[in-house]
């Protein structure tokens, strides 16, 4: 899954659960950015590139989201 698709799915997840999802591009170096879902956050790498399974699982763990829910 690419970073842009991950963000789209997070926004859909947030809407369905009435959570605010926002992307802070200033908080991160280079192509990295911080995405907030409610009170939790994680760092997203370049949104044009593919996210590996391990990194995806770690980011979802940071956000407290079960992978099957996304």
**Contact between 53 and 46 (Cβ < 8 Å):** no
* Enclosing domain of residue 33: 3-65
Does residue 70 form part of some domain? no
Query: What average pLDDT is seen over the chain?
Result: 94
Asked whether residue 42 is domain-assigned, the answer is yes
Give domain status of residue 20, yes or no.
Answer: yes
Query: Which CATH number covers residue 14?
Result: 3.30.920
Q: Is 26 left (phi over 0), alpha (psi -120 to 50) or beta?
A: alpha
Q: Provide, rounded to the nearest whole percent, the portion of the chain with pLDDT above 70.
A: 100
In a domain, 15, yes or no: yes
How many domains does one find in the chain? Answer: 1
Whole-number percent of the chain with pLDDT over 90: 87
- Is the pLDDT score of 28 beyond 90? no
CA distance 49 to 68: 22
Q: CB under 8 Å to 61, separation ≥6 — which residues?
A: none
Is 53 strand, coil or helix?
A: helix
């Amino acid at each position: 899954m690419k970073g842009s698709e991950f963000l789209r799915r997070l926004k859909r997840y947030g809407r369905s659960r009435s959570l605010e999802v926002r992307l802070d591009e200033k908080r991160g170096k280079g192509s990295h950015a911080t995405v907030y879902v409610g009170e939790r956050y994680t760092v997203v790498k370049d949104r044009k590139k593919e996210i590996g399974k391990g990194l995806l699982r770690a980011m979802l763990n940071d956000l407290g989201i079960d992978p099957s829910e996304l």
